[in-house]
Structure 1
Amino acid sequence: MTYKGYLIDLDGTIYLGDTPIEAGKRFVESLQERKTPFLFVTNNTTKTPAAVQEKLANHFDIHVSKETVYTATLATIDYMKDKALGDKVYVVGESGLKDGIKDAGFKLDEEKPDYVVVGLDSEITYEKLIVATLAIQNGAHFIGTNPDKNIPTHRGLLPGAGSLIALLETSTQSKAVIIGKPEGIIMDKALDKLNLTKKDVVMVGDNYETDIKAGINNGIDTLLVLTGFTKKEDVAELPVAPTYVVDSLDDWSF
């Protein structure tokens, strides 16, 4: 089937950690040759779009504009602008998240924030959790950037943003609004960026729980590529089948 646009995951799809996936590079270059619009949709909040652009260019020889990168940070900012509850934010997260929020015109505030935004934070402390808990209990709007419970690394599955969000949901007895895949907020915002409808695009990714469910849950066709998180032996047991499954993005017919 011919699609007018592509929503594409990064890690496990275009590269794997620091290892290039050559078929991913060829896939992106094919889209560029065809002048087919695409957007990298990533739950990673630790890096800015410019940093992702630089990584793609310097590490993987993939050359795109930073406007092709849509992170959970950008989707969180767009969501907060839509809600318009105020401009003060307490952030549990790393510089990519904090800097993005500041650059968008919000003020970082620990005392009386309008929002508490929780993403991955490798330097989490009990004090940060206290500040976030008290702010949410005092009425701040509770946002989780993405639901990923774990991050796959060479050491194994480390705690992800979803683990920190779950802790704060327990301490506050409040549910966070989740922005990233597989939730609808990031997908709707990504479609707005491409100026396309759900039927016009396909979601491409390696992780059934985030990428593929993002499509399934939001009425978007899906292309599961078996180069990352979800393995070939898992496919037969998936509760809802992806629209398409390929071993490699070289197998995809445009």
Structure 2
Amino acid sequence: MNYKGYLIDLDGTIYLGKEPIPAGKRFVEKLQNKQIPFLFVTNNTTKTPESVAKRLKDEFDIHVTKNEVYTATLATIDYMKEMGKGTKFFAIGEEGLIQLILQAGFEWDEVTPDYVVVGLDSQVTYEKFTQATLAIQKGAHFIGTNPDKNIPTERGLLPGAGSLIAMLETSTQQQAVYIGKPEAIIMEKALEKINLPRSEVLMVGDNYETDIQSGIKNGIDSLLVLSGFTPKEAVPNLPQAPTYVLDSLDEWDV
């Protein structure tokens, strides 16, 4: 089937930590050459869309605009605005999360925030977990940017945002509202941004739990590429098969 647009994961699909995946670069260039619209949909909240685009250019020689990057941070901000619960927030996360929420007009409050937002934070401390736990216990709306248990890197599978969120779910005995893949919130916003119906779009990624489930749960065809999180030996036992499974994106004819 010829798809009119693509939603594409980054880490594990286009690159692996700091290592390029050459087939990923070639795949993007094929889409660009054929002028097929695509949107990088990433659960990574540590980087802004501008810095993601810059990193793709500087480190991997892939040239895209910030408007072709949709992060779980942007989806989180859209969700917070729609909730209308208030303007105060506390976050566990890095600059790509906190600065964008501040720029969207929300105010930092460590004691009585309306929202506690939890994403990946490589400098997380026990005190941050303490502040978040107390705020949630006081009634703050508990948001998890994405459920990724791990992030694939050249070192191996490291703890992801989902691991941090799970700790707070344990300490507060409350479940977070998840925004990123595979949840509907980020996928509906991504479809709006690419301006295509779900029947004409293919979700491409390496992680069955997030990328492929985001397709399955939201009625979007999916392509699992075996270059990152989900290993080949796991494919026969997946609870619901992706639409397509490939060893490399070089095998896909756009």
| TM over 0.5, shorter chain | yes
2:57 aligned with 1:57, yes or no? yes
- Superposed, 1:138-153 pairs within 5 Å as 138-153=138-153
Show CA shifts across 1:175-231 (max 9, x none).
Answer: 100011111111111111112221121100111111111111111100111122222
Q: Deviating runs (4+, > 6 A) in structure 1?
A: none
Q: What residue identity is the alignment partner of 2:118?
A: V
Alpha-carbon distance in 2 for matches of 1:233, 1:122: 30
- Superposed, 1:83-102 pairs within 5 Å as 83-102=83-102
Structure 2 residue matching 1:245: 3-state secondary structure: strand
The change in CA–CA distance for 1:75 and 1:148 in structure 2 (over 3 A counts) is same
Structure 2 residue matching 1:165: 3-state secondary structure: helix
Alpha-carbon distance in 2 for matches of 1:220, 1:187: 9
Alpha-carbon distance in 2 for matches of 1:169, 1:21: 35
State the partner residue of 2:122.
122
TM-align CA RMSD: 1.2
Alpha-carbon distance in 2 for matches of 1:17, 1:154: 5
Structure 2 residue matching 1:11: 3-state secondary structure: coil
- Superposed, 1:102-251 pairs within 5 Å as 102-251=102-251
Structure 1 residue matching 2:41: 3-state secondary structure: strand
Alpha-carbon distance in 2 for matches of 1:157, 1:28: 25
Structure 2 residue matching 1:190: 3-state secondary structure: helix
The runs of 5 or more residues in structure 1 that have no matched partner are none
Deviates more, 1:226-235 or 1:70-79: 226-235
Question: What is the CA-CA distance between 1:111 and the residue it aligns to?
Answer: 2.2
Task: Give the count of matched residue pairs.
Answer: 254
Q: What residue identity is the alignment partner of 1:23?
A: A
Using the aligned pairs only, state the percent identity.
Answer: 71
Alpha-carbon distance in 2 for matches of 1:20, 1:227: 11
Structure 2 residue matching 1:27: 3-state secondary structure: helix
Alpha-carbon distance in 1 for matches of 2:193, 2:21: 26
Alpha-carbon distance in 1 for matches of 2:150, 2:49: 22
The runs of 5 or more residues in structure 2 that have no matched partner are none
Contact 2:11 2:152 in 1 (8 A): no
Question: What is the CA-CA distance between 1:72 and the residue it aligns to?
Answer: 0.8
> TM-score with structure 1 length normalisation?
0.96
Q: What residue identity is the alignment partner of 2:42?
A: T
Q: What residue identity is the alignment partner of 2:229?
A: F
2:16 aligned with 1:16, yes or no? yes
